[in-house]
Structure 1
Amino acid sequence: MAGTWLPLAHGTTAPMTESWSERLSALVGVVALCLAALFLVQEHSYFYDDAFITLRYARHLAEGFGPRWNLAGPAVEGFTSPLHVLLIAFLLKLKVGAITAPRMIAFAFHLVLVIWVWRWSRPRFGSLGATIAASSIATSFAMLFWDLGGLEAVPFAALCTCATLAMLSYADGGGRRYLIAGSVLWGLACLTRLDGLVPAVYTAALVCLTRPVDRKERLRDVAIFAAFLALALVPYEAFRLAYFHQLLPNTYYAKVYGIPRWYLIGSGRHYLHLFAATTPFPLPLLVAVAAAQAFFRVLRPRSLFLIGWIGVVILFVVANGGDYMFGFRFLLTTIPIIYVAIVQGLSSLGLLDRPRTAIPIAVGLLFLFASQFRTADSESTQRGHHLTGRKNRR
């Protein structure tokens, strides 16, 4: 394998000028924060009913009864995210309100995600590119919906994204601490939702096995990744088998097992179509930017890696039927990586270097961010029409 497959030299973009870049970045950041705040004020009362299932398990765990739905009878694992239940139970122990607890967790992870993406992007794409990437994630109404909604979607997306960026920092020549950090974060992501194994294995395989080092060093990297992943997963998997007497999460048996694959794929395709057709159109934007990169022959290895990451997750979600919940809970994982890939593409095309191209791009993105209110208003009156998937087909 060539050692240049993943690493991308820094300095592929030069800021137009420091003053232009900083001013435009500040404008984008302020407008994005205002839009996010307006959305949260408009939808502040929203809380998804399925989150009360998680809360019931977390309350019983906090009270010392274990993660159970009913105190009598056999234990059933009716929740999706072990880590999320543990975090909520911890906050409930601290007397945090039941609805406040999952919201606190989601907002904390969302904030860390935005900061992490900005810090990772700034030396690679400049101030404006970093601000566009971070602001796109901060104003994603789908993510803000799930900040309020009470489920694990935002923490899962944050862990997957931060883990991926940490591993890419290692591929860029960073110290082994980035590999360890990425491996730990992947372990936590998989403990949040087991389908995190899909992007985790993809990322580790390409990062660890394409570095320009000898075979022994590559195998050592793989062993480090596998060890930290096992450290996070094996204890809970052993607990699940002993306590719930099941090898896989109960949600797998409830939502996927026994359903014809053709039906799942059909539902998943419908789910993906709705995601692509919903403002601010992150997936079509990525396709357009990638096509421009290919046309001008600047489709760099890093962009190919990110596009592959997104494609692997989408294929997995489609193959398993998508989801009936609005807000694209399962495809939410791709949104931060999509925006990083878009900014990577804009950077490689040189469109963030000059005011005459950067300003229209910034204004256009802010318009798309604001256009999400149209979808959100419709969602408030017609829960599911724009942002749901399989449920509306039945």
Structure 2
Amino acid sequence: MKSTMERAETRTAPEPKSNRGPLVVIAVFGALFLVGCWAAWFFTIDDAFITFRYSANMADGHGPVWNVGEDPIEGFTNFLWMLWHVPFALAGLPLETVAKVTSVVLGAGILVILVRAGHRAGGVLGALVAAGALVLFVPTYFHVTAGLETIAFAAVVLRAAIVGVDLVQGRAVRDWEPPLLLLLAGMIRPEGVLATLPGFLVWCWLRRRHGRTWALVAAVVVVGGGYFAWRWTYFGHLFPNTFYVKFGNLDAGSVWLETTVLLFLPLLVLTASLLIRKESRGEGLVLCSVVLLTGMTYAVSGPTMDYLYRFAFHAFPVLCLGAALATARLGHRVIAALAGIVTVGWVAVAGVTSVELPVAANYGPDLQRAHVAIGKGLAAARVPEAARSLAVSDAGAIPYYSGWKAIDYIGLNDEAIAQGARPADVVKAARPTVIVVTAQGPRATPGVVYGMSVPEVAKDYELVADIQMREGYFQEIFVLPEYAAQVKDAVTTSVDEAQRRNDPGRYEDTIDRWLDRLRAQLPGG
């Protein structure tokens, strides 16, 4: 005979969830994810080639340096991502492809994690909300294929958030995981320490009576402190060089914050709603803390190159998880379903209507026929090794493919400019063979670009080429007279070939151009 209490427990115990639901969700959304990656595969952001240049130089035995033979400068903020590509550079594999494949695998991992966590909390509806927001947000695919560390960082932050939620819900976690995630996140991006701190602190508190906990904390301090001390002594500065260029732009940070809040408003509201009920307050505190600490850095720095909400994406999967957990707590199934539909629909519409989407959708071919072609042309130019130097603002594909010594006059990869030197003074002192200037039209040389006076630095140079990337975006090539003919011939040959292969004659930033390109890739297209 069962007691009254035993019978009550039997009646109220939750039914075990079937594994069929999450498998179907993974299969359907996984197929959509792969289609999305295919549609954005051509997209690689110019900044990715900055990291690849450091990786290639390290693979060649020079260490992580911008210019071989010069003092090291930390012009990247993704050390572990840079390090990941070194063995592939040694093997001679194309780093652009390595980065894309890595991010596809990690992106698929994020999808699986969200489906499992969403299903565990709210059944099939929870899985649909968590994974649907990710998969139906079109910018996701451009972050997968961009070549940067965005997806890797988001994956680590998401996993750290889930570990924190598991801890406050009383689930078992592997003791080595919270400290490892803290180290990984901090070495992928400096702000990763903040992003993964909530789960780490929860773990420290709940495991405070275990000696192994403090041994692992000590290991984190030793390894993390050793890494920080090495990079400080190697590069000579407390923070990456990009920090000194970007940090402190509160006006831009305010705009970023307003844009991000509007973009993810339903996700933010649902995640914050976890704080209302006592039974969900612990997981709500963890998730809200992760989102707040992740975004705090960008809100006070006004991040540049924030294409398609790149920096907001770092916490996006965490918000997808929070929305799934919150819908599971709404109680009434119809209300939960409506909340999920509104949330996923909001995010999907916000992504597909982004004003930046047409530019990103055509950016890959545009970069190939301009920056990549210029870099390859410079590499082929008959210019002596000692004279292979250039100054450039778009300091990614052009320096990477050319292999030339490069002055980044924005300052991301130039210590003097980052510390306040006039770009014109730095460029004039170096007197590079080539100066590349971004203009809005042919023969429309700007007076000042990124703080550099173009007439001042290029007065003794010859303009040998105006290369169109897209509507309203040209690269002007200025060359010292003694090398003008060689550079012009090589760059023109390279660019002409690239223009023929990449959307010839089309320079408009439209979704139609993107769709036409995709249709041409289909069988019979």
TM range (shorter): 0.7 to 0.9
Q: Does 1:217 align with 2:217?
A: no
Q: Does 1:268 align with 2:259?
A: no
| In structure 1, C-alpha distance between the alignment counterparts of 2:316 and 2:201, rounded to whole Å | 22
Describe the SS at the equivalent of 1:99. Answer: helix
| In structure 2, C-alpha distance between the alignment counterparts of 1:40 and 1:65, rounded to whole Å | 34
Larger radius of gyration: 2
1:20-39 maps to which residues of 2 (within 5 A)?
29=26, 32-39=29-36
Q: Does 1:248 align with 2:227?
A: no
Alpha carbons of structure 1 residues 84 and 229: separation in structure 2 relative to 1, 3 Å = same
Alpha carbons of structure 1 residues 93 and 125: separation in structure 2 relative to 1, 3 Å = farther
Alpha carbons of structure 1 residues 367 and 342: separation in structure 2 relative to 1, 3 Å = closer
Contact map agreement 2:274 2:283 (CA 8 A) in 1 = no
Q: Deviations over 1:137-170 (max 9, x none)?
A: 3444333221111111111111111122224324
1:85 matched residue in structure 2: 82
Contact map agreement 2:129 2:323 (CA 8 A) in 1 = no
State the Cα distance separating 1:80 from its structure 2 match. Answer: 1.1
State the Cα distance separating 1:333 from its structure 2 match. Answer: 1.7
Letter in 1 for 2:284: S
Q: Does 1:165 align with 2:162?
A: yes
1:391 matched residue in structure 2: none
2:329 matched residue in structure 1: 348
Q: 1:123 aligns with which of 112, 117, 120?
A: 120
Describe the SS at the equivalent of 1:328. Answer: helix
Letter in 2 for 1:316: T
TM-score by length of 1: 0.76
Letter in 1 for 2:239: L
Describe the SS at the equivalent of 2:287. Answer: helix
Alpha carbons of structure 1 residues 147 and 274: separation in structure 2 relative to 1, 3 Å = same
Q: 2:197 aligns with which of 195, 201, 216?
A: 201
Contact map agreement 1:187 1:231 (CA 8 A) in 2 = no
2:349 matched residue in structure 1: 371
| In structure 2, C-alpha distance between the alignment counterparts of 1:26 and 1:362, rounded to whole Å | 20
Q: Deviations over 1:297-325 (max 9, x none)?
A: 87533223312321232233212223342
State the Cα distance separating 1:375 from its structure 2 match. Answer: 2.7
Say which is worse superposed, 50-59 or 361-370, in terms of deviation: 361-370
Root mean square deviation of aligned Cα: 3.3
Q: Deviations over 1:87-146 (max 9, x none)?
A: 111222233212101112222222222223333443333343134313433444333221
Gaps of 5+ in 1: 1-11, 385-393
Say which is worse superposed, 157-166 or 231-240, in terms of deviation: 231-240
| In structure 2, C-alpha distance between the alignment counterparts of 1:269 and 1:299, rounded to whole Å | 30
TM-score by length of 2: 0.59
Q: Deviations over 1:329-379 (max 9, x none)?
A: 22222111111111111111124xx4x445545554554465356336x43
Contact map agreement 2:57 2:64 (CA 8 A) in 1 = yes
| In structure 1, C-alpha distance between the alignment counterparts of 2:38 and 2:347, rounded to whole Å | 16
Larger RCO: Structure 1 or Structure 2 (Cα < 8 Å, ≥ 6 residues apart)? 1
Contact map agreement 2:66 2:75 (CA 8 A) in 1 = yes
Contact map agreement 1:298 1:349 (CA 8 A) in 2 = no
2:226 matched residue in structure 1: 235
1:1-394 maps to which residues of 2 (within 5 A)?
29=26, 32-175=29-172, 178-209=174-205, 211=206, 217=209, 221=213, 223-224=214-215, 226-256=217-247, 261=248, 264-278=249-263, 282-287=264-269, 290-291=272-273, 294=276, 300-351=281-332, 354=333, 356-357=334-335, 359-361=337-339, 363-364=341-342, 367-368=345-346, 370-371=348-349, 374-375=352-353, 378-382=355-359
Describe the SS at the equivalent of 1:277. Answer: helix
State the identity as a percent: 24
The structure with the greater share of residues assigned to strand is 2
1:6 matched residue in structure 2: none
Contact map agreement 1:29 1:135 (CA 8 A) in 2 = no
| In structure 2, C-alpha distance between the alignment counterparts of 1:226 and 1:292, rounded to whole Å | 29
